[in-house]
Amino acid sequence: MTRSSAPHPSPRRRASLEVLRAEAADERSVLVEERLRAGEDPWVFMSELPSVDELVVLLLRSERILPPGAVRPDHDVSDHVLRRIVDDYPPLATTVWSMLSVAEPERAWSPRVRRAS
């Protein structure tokens, strides 16, 4: 990262978890519709899409992780931010802990995706 390697402090909560989940559900439905219109088989792509709670966590993470002008954070910074999300939104704990687990090569949106060397 640039001069400041620490992630942003927790921002004010911009919305309740219910509102964040509703926004994420809308976004997920758009992703599904785009892929259906492209002729993709839902039996194939549905397991690749993030869940509603995963989208919420990714949204919250993106709001907190990159100060203006910063470069992509490393896994330690990302993990720290994800743990702080659990502090602010305890119902997301199970989702966050699953996102902190071992990297999954097939879910490219995951904060812990393994990258080909």
> Domain spans of the chain?
17-99
Dihedral (Cα; 64, 68, 71, 76), 10-degree rounding: -30
* pLDDT tens series, the chain, 117 aa: 444 445 444 555 567 999 999 999 999 999 999 999 999 999 988 988 999 999 999 889 888 876 666 666 677 777 888 889 999 999 999 999 988 866 555 555 555 544 454
- Contact in structure between 13 and 88 (CB atoms under 8 Å): yes
Token representation of residue 10: 């927790």
19 SS3 class: helix
pTM of the model: 0.72
